[in-house]
Amino acid sequence: MSASVLDACAFCPRLCRHVCPVAVGTARESATPTAIAGVVRLAEHGVLEATLADQALDLCVGCGACTRYCALHVDVAAWVRDCRTPPGVAPLPELPPIDAGKAVRVLVTPPVGDPRASSVSGAALTPDALGHAAWLAGNSAVLAEVARHFAGRRVATDSAAVAEVLLAAGVEVVRSAAPDGAARFRTCSEGALGEDGQLSCCGAREGFPERNPAAAHALAAEVVRRMNGAPHTCADGHCAGWLRAHGADVRGPDADQPG
Amino acid sequence: MNVEALAARVDVDIGALERLAHARDLWPRSTLRFAQDKLAESPAVVAWPKDEAELRFALDWAVVNQVPVVPWGAGSGVCGAAAGRKGALTLDLKRMNRVGAVDVATATVRVGPGVLGQHLEDELGRQGWATRHSPSSIACSTVGGWAASRSAGQFSSRYGKFEDMVVATRVVAPSRSFRTGLWATGEDLQPWVLGSEGALGIISELLVRVVPLPETRWLRGYRFPDIGTAWEAMRRLMQAELHPCVLRLYDAVDTRIGGRGKGVRKEGPGLLKTLTSTVDSGAGGGGGYLNMALALPRLLNGLAGWGGGECVLIAGWEGRKEVVDVLSHHGHALLLGARGDDLGKEPGEHWYEHRHDVSYKAAPLFAKGAFADTMEVAATWSRLPALDAAVRAALGKECFVMAHYSHAYREGCSIYFTFVGRGDEDRYDRAWTRALAAAASVGGTVAHHHGVGPHKMEAAARELAGIGPKFEALRRDLDPTGVLNPGRLFPPVDVPEPPAPKLGIDEDSLVATLDAQAPAADRDAVLARQGYSLRFPTSGALSRAVAAPHPAWESPVLGASVRVDGRRIVLLTVPRSSAGPDPRRAFPPEAYETLTVPLVRLSEAARVVHRLAADVRAARLLPEGPELRGPAASDLAALCEREAGLP
């Protein structure tokens, strides 16, 4: 894993920099996977101090946005987790990779407001599930249930997380407006790829504020700036609380409730 | 250096991580050195101004402390222009990333210089618009960088290069702030600012031309028996006013390696297939073989030349469906008539879907100890074969070479060489030195859209010989203490005064080099006798052509000879360039001796149509002005007249 990431990322022309929430939210070049891999490579070769590599690795929030965009599907977050001493935060390792790009392509495809589309409200996917889309999408029993429930129907949702699960189950998805009229902020696990101007992480991801408080606060500030004072809904209590603490008008569960 | 004073107003970082990350841009020479564990020079401090006031504060601080300043967008430049310098202040502009609302009436948008390209297109797309500027670096480059280096995108044949899209700028320089283009008050310095790579000031805001999101796109592949036939087809298509958004020709080597022509890949030599598979897969254990092969570049290039010269062209149109239908119909017929075999939609659609993937493929080469680089030159159609041969031969002595031709204009085309070499700096430098000299020797520009940086600054200075004193005078005015990217554009070069360009018509390139001060009647009569007229008519001396109205994607002046302070300066005749600023239209009319300008053939009847002022889409998809020419003119005129009658 280490060698392939070092080769692919350290020499990559930063092709994922626009989806990396830390690189975008902080405007730092050092947070890109290219920069992180470059520092680790030089540290492994004895050119730089190992402590610099540790600092570089702490700049990754582990959201996986880069992997979803990368043409080579390099799992940067997993590599970062392996490299950290002690091992740190990364996406759930036991889950298979999810083709979130597929979800996004479908989400931006018309028809919007198709009258044949049905709502997911009241169906098998509850709001509690939104923060755990990755787990749901990797759970064959859940997928079988979702596929049975929505068989032959087109489903409208504004949630990338719900769409991710539905698509994994083979259900056709179209996009709809947020049900309560509020703009929607997506959580890390929903894997937004920036098509609606959102970052893929607000900085609240478990362990990141402790590892890198400056970058975490900067990310939150950037997300709040992009909210532009408008109320937003957020399904993940952890993110909702973090954003409220940074002055955002966020509807959703209380802080420290996972969703 | 009192960094605390700077930090009191602007976010800064003096930590090693951030300085390292700003130490090098994507100049492959720097990447090669990185692969060899050589550290690049880091700046002393990185600062992120959030607005023009903070940018001004940072520049003032740099002047007071005499600290060199390197502007930084996202560091995607491939010529080292943004590379760090010891003791320097790198100004990272990415927090100046505001994107305004599109002004529908003027089809423009105000943007900050630090907006990443993909973010700009995403935001414009939400508003139903786009720049359609699509460089392969779009994910990792900024709008300010595009302007500062005169970038080109994959749809340049339709929309022009980025300098064609910039309507106005605000610039902060050490001595003063000023505006250019539409916002200019007084002398307009826009021709000097665009392409100046931060040497004259730092762009703090841009007004950019936008177009409605295309309704539809039409892409198709064609196979030609040899490169000369394909060039001729491209030239005829571009001069037929059919306005393709994509015209992308792969040479025989690239066609074979890429498996672009049906059945072509199977005919390729085994060595190439093996090399390609090694490069593409990035599999371990291939580095030794790769470097062994690359040690014998002439043999490798010779082997690549076997198997025939078939090459594939991707052609595409996009925009409003009715117009795309007309243009693609006539374009398709023209390409078939020019000996192109129709390969169907797949090659074009495949290219579009994967058009950025190639950027991932260089990484394994560097990791295996080799290097990969690209060189983008350009020339008029008449000089294109000589340019192709000269640069290919120069690079081929040191590297494995292939090329594609992807930025086509009425008057000429760019050549984009991709070359791979064994990873040592001497070989890299030799290849570039020879190739730059070769390009210049046959009348090609040394840079079409990658800019200059320290990499090409001497070659660019030779290409724009004579411009140096004018540029230096501007620099002294705007940056008296010389803190902006010192020592870059343009180093002094010793070049004798050139002779005046030869007057005459270049029929292949559809341009004429004419006396700039001759009476209009004499000039027009001479042209008419030979079957031509000016593309952009002017009633007075041709020197007025520098200010002639023209479509954003066309250039009314291709080359010029001017007298400045008693010395002749000859500005290369080339469709587009990024060898620093473009001064071809920046002189007063009386300074011009000759001008090289585009022509039209009188044999091609012009159709007069109504302007569709109420339909911005149609207006922007057709040539500005009342006349249409070429095979699609009648159909387009009918379409325009039909729609002009609508309420």
pLDDT in tens, B206-263: 999 999 899 899 999 999 999 999 999 999 999 998 989 999 999 999 898 777 765 4
Give the angle B271-B274-B278 at the CA atoms, nearest 5°. Answer: 140
Give the span between the Cα atoms of A189 and B278, in whole angstroms. 36
The pTM for the full model equals 0.85
Whether B126 and B256 map to the same domain: the answer is no
Has residue B637 been placed in a domain? Answer: no
Give the angle B322-B324-B330 at the CA atoms, nearest 5°. Answer: 110
Has residue B427 been placed in a domain? Answer: yes
Higher pLDDT, B125 or A203: B125
Nearest chain A residue to B21 by CA distance is A30
- DSSP summary character for residue A129: G
Domain housing B76: 3-92
The answer on pLDDT for A30 being more than 80 is yes
Nearest chain B residue to A222 by CA distance is B95
Whether B181 and B232 map to the same domain: the answer is no
pLDDT in tens, B568-586: 999 999 999 999 999 999 9
Quick one: average pLDDT of B158-174? 95
The answer on pLDDT for B602 being more than 60 is yes
Quick one: average pLDDT of A89-101? 29
User: What's the pLDDT score for residue A125?
Assistant: 38
Domain boundary among B36, B62, B92: B92
- DSSP summary character for residue B459: H
Q: Does A15 touch chain B (CB under 8 A)?
A: yes
Please give the tally of structural domains in chain B. 4
The answer on pLDDT for B201 being more than 50 is yes
The answer on pLDDT for B316 being more than 70 is yes
Q: For residue B423, give the amino acid letter.
A: G
Q: Do A35 and B39 touch (CB under 8 A)?
A: no
Nearest chain A residue to B120 by CA distance is A197
Whether B183 and B239 map to the same domain: the answer is no
Has residue B632 been placed in a domain? Answer: no
Tell me the backbone φ, ψ of residue A10, rounded to 5 degrees.
-65, -30
Has residue B617 been placed in a domain? Answer: no
Give the span between the Cα atoms of B336 and B631, in whole angstroms. 14
Whether B81 and B112 map to the same domain: the answer is no
Has residue B608 been placed in a domain? Answer: no
Burial B218-246 (b: 16+ CB within 10 A, else e): bbbbbbbeebebbbebbbbbbbbbbbbbb
Find which of A153-162, B228-237, B546-555, B608-617 is predicted with most confidence, using mean pLDDT: B228-237
Q: What's the Cα-to-Cα distance from B72 to each of B38, B100, B175, B333, rounded to whole Å?
A: 22, 22, 20, 46
Whether B376 and B244 map to the same domain: the answer is yes
Higher pLDDT, A157 or A37: A37
What percent of chain A has a predicted confidence (pLDDT) above 70? 49
Q: What's the Cα-to-Cα distance from A105 to each of A74, A109, A174, B409, B533, rounded to whole Å?
A: 20, 6, 10, 33, 49
ipTM of the complex: 0.92
Domain boundary among B453, B485, B518: B453
pLDDT confidence tier of residue B645, bands split at 50, 70 and 90: low
Report the relative pairing of strands A172-175 and A154-157 from DSSP bridges: parallel
pLDDT in tens, A216-244: 898 888 888 877 777 666 656 677 788 88
Whether B508 and B446 map to the same domain: the answer is no
Burial A77-112 (b: 16+ CB within 10 A, else e): bbbbbbbbeeebbbbeeeeeebebeebbeebeeeee
The answer on pLDDT for A50 being more than 50 is yes
The answer on pLDDT for A133 being more than 50 is no
What is the domain-level CATH number for residue B258?
3.40.462.40
What's the token pair of residue B529? 């006798």
The answer on pLDDT for A176 being more than 60 is no
Contacts of A65 in chain B (CB under 8 A): none
Residue with tokens 């390792």: A93
Quick one: average pLDDT of B597-614? 70
Lowest mean pLDDT among A203-212, B164-173, B438-447, B590-599: A203-212
User: What's the pLDDT score for residue A181?
Assistant: 38
pLDDT confidence tier of residue B630, bands split at 50, 70 and 90: confident
What is the domain-level CATH number for residue B123?
3.30.465.10
pLDDT confidence tier of residue B275, bands split at 50, 70 and 90: low
Burial B428-457 (b: 16+ CB within 10 A, else e): bebbbebbbebbbebbbbbbbbbbbbbbbb
Whether B221 and B152 map to the same domain: the answer is no
pLDDT confidence tier of residue B31, bands split at 50, 70 and 90: very high
What percent of chain B has a predicted confidence (pLDDT) above 90? 72
Whether B431 and B293 map to the same domain: the answer is yes
Whether B75 and B117 map to the same domain: the answer is no
Whether B277 and B362 map to the same domain: the answer is yes
The answer on pLDDT for A97 being more than 70 is no
What is the domain-level CATH number for residue B64?
3.30.43.10
pLDDT confidence tier of residue A145, bands split at 50, 70 and 90: low
Question: Number of H helices and number of E strands within chain A?
Answer: 13, 6
User: What's the pLDDT score for residue B616?
Assistant: 38
CB B617 within 8 A of CB B319: yes
Nearest chain A residue to B13 by CA distance is A28
The answer on pLDDT for B122 being more than 80 is yes
Instruction: Out of A4, A13, A39, name the one closest to residue B17 (CB).
Output: A39
Average model confidence (pLDDT) for chain B?
Answer: 89
pLDDT confidence tier of residue A85, bands split at 50, 70 and 90: low
Q: Angle, to 10 degrees, between the axis of helix A100-107 and the axis of helix A160-168?
A: 110
Q: Does A32 touch chain B (CB under 8 A)?
A: yes
Q: Do A28 and B140 touch (CB under 8 A)?
A: no
What's the token pair of residue A126? 């509850």
Give the span between the Cα atoms of B410 and B157, in whole angstroms. 9
Quick one: average pLDDT of A133-144? 55
Q: Which residues on neighbouring strands pair with residue B208, listed in sequence order? A: B109, B166
Q: For residue B298, give the amino acid letter.
A: R
- DSSP summary character for residue A153: -
CB atoms within 10 A of CB B645: 8
Give the span between the Cα atoms of B509 and B381, in whole angstroms. 5
Quick one: average pLDDT of B517-521? 93
Contacts of B357 in chain A (CB under 8 A): 71
Q: Is B249 helix (H, G, I), strand (E, B) or coil?
A: strand
User: What's the pLDDT score for residue A60?
Assistant: 86
Find which of A107-111, A126-130, A165-169, B179-183 is predicted with most confidence, using mean pLDDT: B179-183
Instruction: Out of A18, A52, A196, name the one closest to residue B116 (CB).
Output: A18
Q: Do A18 and B118 touch (CB under 8 A)?
A: yes
* Extents of the domains making up chain A: 2-83, 100-175, 186-251
Taking alpha carbons only, the member of B601, B599, B612, B608 closest to residue B556 is B599
Lowest mean pLDDT among A48-52, B14-18, B346-350, B637-641: B637-641
CB atoms within 10 A of CB B337: 11
Has residue B376 been placed in a domain? Answer: yes
Contacts of A14 in chain B (CB under 8 A): 26, 74-76, 139-140
Give the span between the Cα atoms of B154 and B133, in whole angstroms. 7
CB B202 within 8 A of CB B70: no
Q: Does B18 touch chain A (CB under 8 A)?
A: yes
pLDDT in tens, A110-122: 222 322 223 232 2
pLDDT confidence tier of residue B644, bands split at 50, 70 and 90: low
pLDDT confidence tier of residue A19, bands split at 50, 70 and 90: confident
User: What's the pLDDT score for residue B146?
Assistant: 98
How is chain A split among helix, strand and coil, in percent rounded to 5?
45, 5, 50
User: What's the pLDDT score for residue A159?
Assistant: 52
CB B379 within 8 A of CB B579: no
pLDDT confidence tier of residue A105, bands split at 50, 70 and 90: very low
Average model confidence (pLDDT) for chain A?
Answer: 65
Has residue B554 been placed in a domain? Answer: yes
